[in-house]
Amino acid sequence: MKFFVYHTPELAPANVLPDCAIVVDVLRATTTIATALNAGAEAVQVFSDIDSLMQTSENWPADKRIRVGERGGAKVEGFDLGNSPLSCTPEFVKNKRLFMTTTNGTRSLERIQATPVVLTAAFINRRAIVEYLIAKSPETVWVLGSGWEGSFSLEDTACAGAVAQNLVHEMGYPLDDFAGNDEVFAAISLYSQWQNNLFELLNHASHGQRLLRLGCYEDLQYCAQEDILDVLPIQKEPGVLVKSDITKQN
């Protein structure tokens, strides 16, 4: 397995795709996706722009759709939800499809949606991602951080490092053989420094500070937890993510 980390989707190579791509947007798209699917949502369908989301979701029964929209950390006017994972309770999302657009994470998903296997990761479902990679051992793996409007974000790279460190320890690979680029070493180093205080890391992150100004303190606490959900979001068709039990398969 060759493992690559790209801090933002813009940094990923053009005109080539890996065997497996993993999108990370800890604050908060991929945390929300995992939470919604764990709570029984039928699927999460992602869009980079609001107009496309509105057009597609209009064709879905009103009682079976939830429009999730965030720009600049704040809820899009007229949508059912912003991008808080804490809003995705079973009572609200069970058996419904979430139509989601966010500032950063949905853009990353569109960048690699033609990849054979697309997963989404956050700290809360890190373990499910690792178990899938150990079981399936894809030859090339990309982890794409979503960043913030094209720039680096601490929390996404730290999450990539959490996945990489776990894999190296459990699979026994020499790191030099495992790492496809220098960013893997940087991601593991960042995670190693902060793994016992991820909440503080999220408070230091620029987007974490942005969310704190919006009063999203409990969101940051939730997003900083590791391995609390055994859920593997996997792309079923371009832009549509569902909960998979593939980690339970032999």
Q: What is the DSSP string of 113-171?
A: TTSSEEEEE-GGGHHHHHHHHHHH--SEEEEEE-TBTTB--HHHHHHHHHHHHHHHHHH
Confidence of residue 246 (pLDDT cuts 50, 70, 90): low
Confidence of residue 126 (pLDDT cuts 50, 70, 90): very high
- Give the DSSP H/E element, type plus range, for residue 29: helix 29-38
Please, is 55 exposed, middle or buried when counting C-beta atoms within 10 Å of its C-beta (0-12, 13-18, 19+)? exposed
Q: Does 139 have pLDDT greater than 50?
A: yes
Using CA atoms, how far apart are residues 191 and 151, in angstroms rounded to an integer? Answer: 19
Using CA atoms, how far apart are residues 240 and 42, in angstroms rounded to an integer? Answer: 10
Using CA atoms, how far apart are residues 138 and 1, in angstroms rounded to an integer? Answer: 6
Structure confidence by residue, pLDDT tens digits, 16-47: 999 999 999 999 999 999 999 999 999 999 99
Question: What is the residue type of 44?
Answer: V
Please, is 206 exposed, middle or buried when counting C-beta atoms within 10 Å of its C-beta (0-12, 13-18, 19+)? middle
Mean pLDDT to the nearest integer, 226-234? 98
Q: Does 249 have pLDDT greater than 50?
A: no
Share of the chain above pLDDT 90, in %: 87
Chain centroid to CA 225 = 14
CA angle in degrees (0–180, nearest 5) for 128-133-135? 95
For residue 53, the SS3 value is helix
Q: Does 248 have pLDDT greater than 70?
A: no
Question: What is the residue type of 152?
Answer: F
Q: What is the DSSP string of 203-237?
A: HHSHHHHHHHHTT-HHHHHHHT--S----EEEEEE
Structure confidence by residue, pLDDT tens digits, 146-171: 988 788 999 999 999 999 999 999 99
Confidence of residue 250 (pLDDT cuts 50, 70, 90): very low
Mean pLDDT to the nearest integer, 82-110? 92
Cis geometry, peptide bond prior to residue 28 (ω within 30 degrees of 0): yes
Rg (CA), the chain: 17
Which domains, ranges and CATH numbers included, belong to the chain? 1-237 (3.90.1560.10)
Structure confidence by residue, pLDDT tens digits, 100-123: 998 787 888 989 999 999 999 999
Structure confidence by residue, pLDDT tens digits, 171-218: 998 999 999 999 999 999 999 999 999 999 999 999 999 999 999 999
Evaluate whether 179 touches 185 at the Cβ level (below 8 Å). Answer: yes
- Please give the mean pLDDT across all residues of the chain: 94
